[in-house]
Amino acid sequence: MVMRIFPRSIRARLTAIATAIAALVVFATSTFMLVTVPDNLRDVVRDRVEVSVRRIASDARAGELSTALQAPARVHFLEVVTPSGDVLASTTGRDVHWKLKAFRPAEPDKLYVKEAWAPHERNAGETHFLVMAMSVPTPNGLVAVYGASSLTDVDRAIRWFEIQTFVIAPLILASVMGITWLVVGSALRPVERIRSKLAEITGQDLSRRVPVPDTGDEITLLAATTNDTLDRLERSAETQRRFVADASHELRSPIAALRTQLEVANAIPEETDWSATGARALAAVDRLTGIIDELLMLARLDAGAVAPRRVVDMCRLAAEQVRRRGDARVAIVPDLCASAPVHGSPVQLDRILTNLLDNATRHAETRIDLEVAVEDDRWVVVTVTDDGEGIAPEDRERVFERFTRLDSAKAKDQSGSGLGLPLSREIALSHGGTLTIADHSPGARFVLVLPSYQGA
């Protein structure tokens, strides 16, 4: 079993990351403060004592030393001592017991610093002092100048700072952890509602939608996108259900007709014209084959399958269609350019022409115009125009819906499946083109536009 460093929950992961970052910041800040603050506080005391010692040393060097030294605030002790230990001058009222002989400045004009614990008359115990000493030559010989200041306030401040650091740091981390947990939980609450709603949606009922929060953030966009996806899924499922129902209905008719013919022929074989019965059965089988072929091609197009493609000359395909329809009910009048190459499936492109010409043949009165042209060296435009009753503007998109047949089409041909035009448009779209119905009177004009082949 693989060990996970982070928990699976996004809420827990973000809380852990935020806490880790906060811990790193607090640790770095605390370490910096613990390193710098004590030294800075001691430097303040040292500067104060150093100024006093150098002032007294300057007076002693000039022979202007007073026996009663005045110590500034927070400097507890000043004293001038000869090498033999005689006290020449000192502060008054601030008696501190020092073992000064153990701390003698050796070199003249060099400042020596030491921290020491010494008894103070005002304190029952010992006090922590910062002591500084300097030897200085005077008119009466070499003397040592001493100064001291208590570090009690500094030690107390450092101790409180350390206590607060080690107490407040865990509180900060606990606060960051708790706040992050609550904030992330609040932010992810809409996601949980979306998840629970999605879990309730099934393939049998795609009408339900997830709640869209009004926060206007990425979760709002996620919910809106999810609902849009559910809308598309619902439309697709409804289309599939309608497609299956329509396909079943279309297949049932020729199968029922074929079965009826065979049952009648089988019931009275001696009175059956087997030649006519076979012809009718073949016609029903042909219709079944055509419907099944169109359904299979639509299924492949819906699945995104790409048929083998090569360079196809639409002029040549159109000319072949005209040749095959030489004995058709309505004459086809071609207007073809020299060459109109496209890159596509020969079978599918020929199927478009077949469907368009079959549709025009059913509705035309006297003629069908077939035009193939190249526009702007970029597009191959195929136009099929009939002089029939035409298609109303409100029906020009509906005829491209699967199994849709207008009343005029049913009256002219009962054997149609309503798949030819939808299949033709799907083929055009799969080749990067379009198939539309343009304004024309009389009759209908179908316009197929495909990208022209530009070479390798």
- Residue 381's SS3 state is strand
Write out the residue limits of the CATH 3.30.450 domain(s) in the chain: 15-157
E strands along 345-429, which residues?
Answer: 367-375, 379-386
Which residues lie below 8 Å from residue 188, measured CB to CB, with a gap of 6+?
10, 11
State the CB neighbour count (10 A cutoff) for residue 107.
Answer: 9
Residue-wise pLDDT for 143-177, tens only, equals: 989 988 888 888 888 888 888 788 888 888 899 99
Q: Where in the chain is the domain with CATH 3.30.565.10?
A: 307-451
Which residues have C-beta within 8 Å of that of residue 435, sequence separation ≥ 6? 352, 400, 421, 424, 425, 428, 429, 446, 447, 448, 449
Task: Give the lowest-confidence range in 105-114, 330-339, 403-412.
Answer: 403-412
> In the prediction, which pLDDT does 250 show?
64
CB-count burial class (<10 Å; 0-12, 13-18, 19+) for 384: buried
Highest-confidence segment of 194-203, 232-241, 323-332:
323-332
Per-residue confidence at 325, pLDDT binned at 50, 70, 90? confident
122 vs 47, 92, 147, CA distance in Å?
25, 14, 18
Mean pLDDT of 314-332: 89
Give the C-alpha separation, 220 to 215, whole Å: 6
pLDDT of residue 267: 82
Q: Does residue 241 register a pLDDT over 60?
A: yes
pLDDT reported for residue 449 = 95
Nearest Cα to 48, choosing from 129, 158, 103, 105? Answer: 129
How many CA atoms lie less than 13 Å away from 366 in the CB half-sphere? 1
Torsion of CA 154, 159, 161, 165, to 10 degrees: 160
Give the model's pLDDT for residue 234: 80
What's CA 194's distance to the chain center, in Å?
Answer: 17
Run of H or E including 183:
helix 152-200
Contacts of 292 (CB under 8 A, 6+ apart): 251
Give the span between the Cα atoms of 118 and 106, in whole angstroms.
22
C-alpha dihedral, 181 to 182 to 184 to 189, nearest 10°: 130
Q: Which parts of 109-253 are beta strand (E)?
A: 111-119, 126-138, 141-150
pTM over 0.95: no
Spatial strand order of the sheet with 68-69 comes to 68-69, 87-91, 77-81, 141-150, 126-138, 111-119
d(CA 437, CA 1): 63
CATH value of 218-300 in 1.10.287.130, 3.90.230.10, 3.30.1340.30, 3.40.50.1220: 1.10.287.130
* pLDDT tens column, 60-104: 888 888 888 887 888 888 888 888 878 888 887 555 555 544 578
Two structure tokens written together for 148: 């001291």
Under a CB-based contact definition with an 8 Å cutoff, are residues 72 and 98 in contact?
A: no
Domain with CATH 1.10.287.130 in the chain: 218-300
Lowest-confidence region among 4-8, 194-198, 375-379:
4-8
**CA 71 to each of CA 57, 78, 89, 129: distance values in angstroms, whole numbers, following the listed order:** 13, 7, 12, 15
- What rounded mean pLDDT belongs to the chain? 82
Rounded percentage of the chain residues whose pLDDT exceeds 70: 88
What is the fold of 307-451?
Answer: Heat Shock Protein 90 (3.30.565)
The answer regarding whether domain 15-157 maps to CATH 3.30.450 reads yes
